Structure 1
Amino acid sequence: MSDRKTRITTSHWGAFEVETMGDRIIATHPFAPDPDPSAIPAIIPQAVHHHTRIDRPHIRRAWLDRRDRKGRGADDFVALPWDEALDIAAQEIARIRDTHGNGAIFGGSYGWSSAGRFHHAQSQVHRFLNAIGGYVASFGSYSTGCAQAIMPHVFGMNFITLLYEHQEGWHTLDQHTETLVMFGGINPKNAQVSMGGVTEHETAGWFDRFQAKGMRCVNIGPQRGDSPPGCEWMAVRPGSDTALMLALAWVLEDEGLTDHAFLDRCTTGFDRFCPYLMGEADGTPKSPDWAAPLCGVPADTIRALARRMATTRTYITVAWSLQRAHHGEQPYWMSAVLAAMLGQIGLPGGGVGYGYGAIGGVGKSLLGMTGMTLPQGHNPVADVIPVARIADMLRNPGGTYDFNGQRRSYPDIRLVYWAGGNPFHHHQDLNALHEAWQTPETILVNEPWWTPTAKRADIVFPATTPYEREDIGRSNLDDYLFHMPQLIPPVGQARDDYDIFAGLAARMGATDAYTEGRTSAEWIELLYADYRARAAAQGIDVPDLDGLRERNWMKLPIRVDGPKTTLFAPFRDDPDAAPLGTPSGRIEIFSETIDSFGYDDCPGHPVWLPPAEWAGTATADAPLHLVSPQPGDKLHSQLESALADQPGARPERLVIHPDDAAARAIADGDLLRVFNTRGAARARAHVSGDILPGVVALPTGAWFGDPGGNIDPHGNPNVLTADIGTSRLGQGCSAHSTLVQVACDND
């Protein structure tokens, strides 16, 4: 009798059917209601059962023998029984805490480990560390850290909870927008993922509707493929978007197209910004003629677009990628100023929005539902660092730095506990991070696979994947609810993060604070009961937990099948009655607060600041601008172990223009060396006319190779990127400001 079973589960890249036989996942199939399902789940059977799974607890031999910290990434490991490994780990955490204080512990994590609400590694590790006295935390994310710092100064609201959860829906754009101007594009490839899951992938379908109705969609960026087929492509040099926005604004003001009535009612500071824009302050008008050589767009094309934007209902979108660059604050701030000058903020289908296409949830019109979040407890440690400054922190304990108006000091970190993330994927200048990573006394990692981060830890606990435990799947940006059944037993001796931390908490006298006397199943029941009560208060009926287990999934009646209230409409109607959270209550074109910081790399209004590395600083040694987009075959570096096994999959492919390829005698498929003074990576050539000459693209996600070689063998672009903050205000990552050289690799 066959024990073959199929059940539905969900993930950050959507729902899918999982087919199991015994203790193995043997296949996955698309979720029927999804109109454009992601192909990512196809690799899950190979990944879950891959030979790189961590089968039992391991401790790095040199650390175990003599507490050596210098061999991380090169040493071998000793497998230990769970009880012994937990004893050693608990004793070490207690030693660091008791000797140096909780301010010497860094709680590293990222929120993408699982779409499940309870088994969310970031929540689990932070809850555990709070239960034992706290930890040094991080602010923001690599995707939006810079924007999270600048946009509250401009709009007076939290970027995460308001700007991309409550922006214009696709329905509103479809009914009202005539011109869609996309700085950085809107890429369905990126939109196949979303925090907590995106069940119905709709981005490509909406663009079919937009184009059928005659909406003009303009993709502004270095790659044609950053928007769906059929969109106009305005090829712009990376890092020059602010210059282009300024030139568009100059045309509006020069030709009398600025909506000064809106500026007077709803903004502050245009009188301080306008002299800079028109050249009265510095002798340089920010005209199309000035911008054309910077961004590579003809001046007449800029003028024509500005006139079109002023005479049609125009919605400006800005990709997250623009703020992942040196001076990334400027295009975000300037996009708001440009939209304000058009006077359409608060009108349906007009204004400005951020992150469309970055994740699949942006653009969905839903009634808000909350709940099912594991409480993390109180963190008494006040120290917080910008998330992209971890290597600086490890290198410079006690060193000072500026951040968003404050002068801060880096903590002296002696212990790092990482769960649910791979910093050796998303951080910049990985060779430098590898060196900084040798500094702490101890590094602990919970991880299913031997990732580059796990290989650089001292104590490694094998964690389950979402398919080896029960959970509930839901997202604020999605209208589905899932019971995520345990599909197979844990692989090897893997344990849930909760059970790992419960074992450590028991040894450290923190059981009550961490578990509150509950098992995983009891926590899931409690969180779900609270969610169900909240839903009932909103008039939404969801089954009890046993009922959801039986149903497996349900579509929630929270979809708004038409335009929803435009975010800034009440403010536009009466800015005095509905003021923004800025000091002025208005959109701040000039910010007295930022101006008071005295930052030359982020002054009181948006300005053109050339990046440290871009086409304008190219040299013969590094003539090509490298961009490093998200991969299309996975989420960040997840599932990479199995993907890398596929014939021809690694090294990663580098997109290069035919002119640049011909100048280097490169043919499609050639093995390449991509390099600069920071490092080198191997790649495979993909010659294409869909990228701007002078620009190359190498996706992120390939696992960072082992130290000791002079080239990363898999094609990780972050061996090439510079680890510098976007500015003293945002201190975000500057990955997209990178110059490289490319040559055939004959080794």
Structure 2
Amino acid sequence: MFGGCYGWASAGRFHHAPSHLKRFLNLFGGYVDRVGNHSFGAALGIMPYVIGRADIPALVAPWETLVGSCELIVLFGGAHLKNAQVEMNGQVRHEAATWFHKAHAAGTRFVNISPSRSDLTEAVDGEWISLRPNTDVAVMLGLAHTLLVEGLHDTAFLQRFCVGFERFADYLRGVPDGVIKDAAWAAEISSIPAERITALARQMASSRTLVATAWSVQRADHGEQPVWMTVTLAAMLGQIGLPGGGFSLGFGRAGSAPPRKVPRMAMPVGKNPVTTIVPVASVGDMLLNPGKEVEFNGRRIRYPDVKLIYAVGGNAFHHNTDLNALLRGWQRPDTVIVHEPFWTPVARHADIVLPATTTLERNDILAAESASHWIAMQKAIEPVGQARNDFDIFADLAERLGFKSAFTEDRDERAWMAWLYEQTRAQAKERGYAPPDFDTFWNDGVHAFIEEAPVHQVFMGDFRRDPDANPLKTASGRIEIFSEKIAGFNYADCPPHPTWIEPTEWLGSAQARDYPLHLLSNQPTARLHSQLDMSPLSRASKIAGREAITMHPKDAGARGIRDGDVVRVSNARGAFLAGARLSPDLRESVVQIATGAWYQAVEPGVPGSLDTHGNPNMVTMSKVTSPLAGAPTAQTVLVQIERVDDPPPMTAFDPPRFS
């Protein structure tokens, strides 16, 4: 059995569908689980080797340590406001725009290195440096080479706090391969002028500088490399552990939070007795190829022969790449069971659909880790039709299978909420907070965590003050610019130090002759991922009923495409329809579409059939970043686009037919 559960589901901490599924399957005997994630999978794989940490969301620099200290923020992949307005377990305070204004007013300069001007708010009057997609590592190497040859790197920091810089410096000089990674070399790859790369390196060395790389940058072929190179570039500047300096993976944390982390409520899921795993980006490959052996993070794993998929709280036909390959694999197991409130793509491709409630039909608690509030999510309406809470569905199944008491622990919804609350309340009190008892909280509806004088620690500040007393959890206890452990894996796709490796397909490759446009997929503004795509808000963002794809006017004009036209986006892996939107704020030869449009093929269930709605994963690759992280490469994809004058109807929101 594959516990095909991946998604944000509900913001509430009790009615969290993935937790209920895992708890149920663990009590039933276990399940095949995925490892890694689609959000920051490459960073999750590489950072334990580089700084000894895998808590990637915690590596986003907090605003409080930047404003008034940071002079220059260099953003690889930008920092779009919409991405800083969401939090996995529910965001209460939306302060990102305010903090951008504060930083700008304090004199912080912003540089947006991205194919899209709109990846940085206009309010900060930042500089846009347009580069070819997937060439960030080359630019970082060109910056690093300038720092090296001009003596602008911090040798004392590198010697005391890092290991392996000498090997990396030889790589910059071209010692092992005869290729000098200077600004001119980087300019040829990225199309950023060499003079601008050199000047930026000097600016970075003469300023208190934060190097920030968006999570989207590492969702690409060899995505481990820009993450590793981000840390290495910051190490060369020698400002890691200083206020306003160092690096950030992602940028623009959603809002300020109390310095002592507010604990997060979480349902206990138990222990999975099954140890078989699949890298998150290889689910389709696993379903298609049972028994196949693959390398993953220093070991070999064998794919299981999955007979049953149980999926709740997510949309497999949204986050997985190469949907035609996934569809072929999805059809191999004997049975697919899902819980869904709507007729979503995953419901359309299931054998058994159990109707589940939405957030508005149940009681819950919003209590995200480090959040400033706990909120009582009190039911607005009774469940519609035959919809039931996921917990109640699993409880009845557990009763039929003989372990209901173990699953429910004889608690109902309110009893579980009270138990979760009181358990977490005790932890909060240990950290100096004083939330009320559950009944008082539920009646009040909200509890705010407030401190009079918050003190925000600078990331890696303790390590900088005394690396011997506060070593990192790496093999050396230091920042590893060269990793002996990774060297031992002998992965061609992940060498032992940050390296430029040509992507499988990019605008500098031979494939660009047939598919001359690089497709980037970003987070939508009118929904969260694919959630509620059928809602009026999301539908209002469509063009001609399809997801909007942004093109540069010159690329559109060369193809006879006008604003509002329906277009066909294709490559050898598949095709989808979208509505054209023209903008000069996107680099030429680059197109961009939001993720999350509900997949709907002209011929449902037929691999290779045209998607009518605009799902970019029709054309993305199933290739992983490298055997180290096994993460997805959705941002590495070339396509061709043509106008469609008589498109087929879009039926993604049509209800099911009942006989």
Q: Give the distance between the partners of 2:544 and 2:344, measured in 1 at CA.
A: 18
Q: Which residue number in structure 1 is paired with residue 145 of structure 2?
A: 250
Contact 2:60/2:250, CA 8 A, preserved across alignment: no
1:111 shift after superposition: 4.2
Cα pair distance change 1:538/1:645, threshold 3 Å: closer
Q: Could you tell me whether the CA contact under 8 Å between 2:60 and 2:251 is conserved in 1? A: no
Equivalent residue letter for 2:384:
V
Q: What SS is found at the alignment partner of 2:425?
A: helix
Cα deviation digits, residues 589-613 of structure 1 (max 9, x gap)? 0000001001011011110001111
Q: What secondary structure does 1:535 align onto? A: helix
State how 1:441-456 maps to structure 2 within 5 Å.
441-456=334-349
What is the aligned counterpart of 1:338 among 206, 221, 233?
233
Question: Is the 8 Å Cα contact of residues 192 and 201 (structure 1) preserved in structure 2?
Answer: yes
Per the alignment, residue 81 of structure 1 pairs with none
Letter in 2 for 1:272: R
Report the equivalent of 2:323: 430
**What is the aligned counterpart of 1:465 among 322, 342, 358?**
358
Tell me which residue corresponds to 2:42: 146
Partner of residue 574, structure 2: 679
1:537 Cα deviation after fit: 2.2
Q: Distance in 1 between matches of 2:59 and 2:442?
A: 31
| DSSP 3-state at the match of 1:189 | helix
Q: Say whether the 8 Å CA contact 2:263–2:370 is kept in structure 1.
A: no
> Which 5+ residue runs of structure 1 have no aligned equivalent?
1-104
Q: Report if aligned partners of 1:650, 1:715 keep a CA contact under 8 Å in 2.
A: no
Residue of structure 2 in register with 1:615 after alignment: 507
Contact 1:110 1:122 in 2 (8 A): yes
Distance of aligned partners of 1:558 and 1:136 in 2 relative to their CA distance in 1, 3 Å threshold: farther
Amino acid at match of 2:476: S
Residues in 1 aligned to 2:301 and 2:150: alpha-carbon distance in whole angstroms: 46
Identity %: 49
Q: Classify 1:409/1:141 alpha carbon distance in 2 versus 1 (closer, same or farther; 3 Å).
A: same
Map Cα deviations across residues 224-269 of structure 1 (whole Å, 9 max, x no partner). 1111112211111110000000000000001000101000000000
> Contact 1:111 / 1:120 at 8 angstroms: preserved in 2?
no
CA distance in 2, matches of 1:260, 1:551: 56
Q: How far is the alpha carbon of 1:512 from its aligned partner? A: 2.2
Q: Name the structure 2 match of 1:487.
A: 380
User: Is 1:300 equivalent to 2:192 in the alignment?
Assistant: no
The 3-state SS of whatever aligns with 2:327 is helix
Report the residue type matching 2:631 in the other structure. G
1:734 positional shift: 0.4
The equivalent residue for 2:655 is none
CA distance in 1, matches of 2:543, 2:202: 48
Q: Which residue is equivalent to 2:457?
A: 565
Q: How does 1:212-291 map to 2 (within 5 A)?
A: 212-229=105-122, 230-291=125-186
2:444 corresponds to which of 551, 571, 575: 551
1:645 shift after superposition: 4.8
Going from structure 1 to structure 2, the CA distance change for 1:459 and 1:365 (only over 3 Å counts) comes to same
CA distance in 1, matches of 2:202, 2:448: 43
Distance, in Å, in 2 between the alignment partners of 1:338 and 1:207 is 24
Q: State the 1:497 CA deviation.
A: 0.5
The structural deviation recorded for 1:332 is 0.3
**Alignment-derived partner of residue 743 in structure 1:** 642
Deviations 1:559-609, CA, capped at 9 Å, x for gaps:
865x61112111111111111000100000000000100101101111000
Instruction: Between 632-641 and 542-551, report the one with greater CA deviation.
Output: 542-551
- 1:360 has 2:254 as partner: yes
| 2:497 counterpart residue number | 605
The one-letter code of the counterpart of 1:666 is I
Matched, 1:393 2:281: no
Q: 1:138 to 1:296 in 2, by over 3 A?
A: same
Q: In structure 1, how many angstroms separate the alpha carbons of the residues matched to 2:60 and 2:641?
A: 40
Equivalent pair of 1:637/1:700 in contact (CA under 8 Å):
yes
Q: Determine the C-alpha separation between the residues in 2 that align with 1:300 and 1:559.
A: 48
Q: What is the 5 A alignment of 1:2-401?
A: 105-158=1-54, 160=55, 163-165=56-58, 167-229=60-122, 230-357=125-252, 360=254, 364=257, 366-401=259-294
Relative to structure 1, is the Cα distance of residues 452 and 246 closer, same or farther in structure 2, using a 3 angstrom cutoff? same
The Cα shift of 1:107 comes to: 0.7
SS at match of 1:684: strand
Aligned-partner SS, 2:112 = strand
CA distance in 1, matches of 2:107, 2:431: 38
Contact 2:59/2:248, CA 8 A, preserved across alignment: no
Give, as a single letter, the amino acid of the residue that structure 1 aligns with 2:31.
Y
Using the alignment, how far apart are the partners of 2:567 and 2:25 within structure 1? 44
Q: Check the 8 A contact 1:249/1:338 in 2, yes or no.
A: yes
Do structure 1's residue 590 and structure 2's residue 485 form an aligned pair?
A: no
Change over 3 Å in CA distance of 1:455–1:403 after alignment to 2: same
C-alpha separation between the residues in 2 aligned to 1:360 and 1:414? Answer: 41
Contact (CA 8 Å) 1:170, 1:365: kept in 2 or not?
no
Deviation, structure 1 residue 168? 3.1
- Contact 1:192 1:198 (C-alpha < 8 Å) held by counterparts: yes
How many residue pairs match? The answer is 637
Cα gap change, 1:313 to 1:695, in 2 (>3 Å): same
Structure 2 runs not aligned, ≥5 long: 647-659
1:247, 1:291 within 8 Å by CA — same for their partners in 2?
Answer: yes
TM-score, normalisation: structure 2: 0.94
**Separation in structure 1 between the aligned mates of residue 62 and residue 452 of structure 2, nearest angstrom:** 11
3-state SS in 2 of match to 1:615 = coil
Bigger mean CA deviation after superposition, 166-175 or 650-659: 166-175
Query: What is the Cα deviation at residue 638 of structure 1?
Result: 0.2
CA–CA separation in structure 1 for the residues paired with 2:598 and 2:135: 30
Supply the distance in 2 between the matched residues of 1:205 and 1:404 (Cα, whole angstroms).
40
CA separation of 1:181 and 1:566: change in aligned 2, threshold 3 A: same
Stretch deviating more after TM superposition (429-438 or 639-648): 639-648
One-letter amino acid matched to 2:387: A
CA contact (8 A) 2:49 2:474 kept: yes
Is the Cα–Cα contact under 8 Å of residues 312 and 339 in structure 2 kept in the other structure? yes
The separation in 2 between residues aligned to 1:295 and 1:559, in whole angstroms, is 48
TM-fit CA distance, 1:365: 5.4
Q: Please identify, of 363-372 and 571-580, the stretch whose mean Cα deviation from structure 2 is larger.
A: 363-372
For residue 164 of structure 1, give the secondary structure of its aligned residue in structure 2.
helix
Which string of whole-angstrom CA distances, capped at 9 and with x for unpartnered residues, describes residues 484-507 of structure 1? 001100011101000000011000
- In the alignment, what sits opposite 1:43? none
> Structure 1's 269 and 659: CA in aligned 2 closer, same or farther, altered over 3 A?
same
Task: Report Cα offsets for 1:668-712 as digits up to 9, x if no partner.
Answer: 111111111111111111111100111000111100013248421
Determine if contact 1:367/1:559 at 8 Å carries over to the other structure. no
Distance in 1, matches of 2:107 and 2:468, equals 37
CA shift for structure 1 position 210: 1.7
Q: Which secondary structure does the structure 2 equivalent of 1:661 belong to? A: helix
**Once superposed, what is the RMSD of the aligned Cα atoms?**
1.5
Q: Distance in 2 between matches of 1:289 and 1:132?
A: 60
Offset, 1:166: 5.7
TM-score (norm 1): 0.83
Residues of 2 paired with 1:360 and 1:448: CA distance? 29
SS of the counterpart of 2:508?
Answer: helix
Shift of 1:739: 0.2
Per the alignment, in what secondary structure is the counterpart of residue 636 of structure 1? coil
| 8 Å Cα contact 1:479-1:559 kept in structure 2 | no
Q: Alignment partner of 1:619: what SS?
A: helix
CA distance in 1, matches of 2:90, 2:491: 39
Give the letter for the 2:44 counterpart: Q
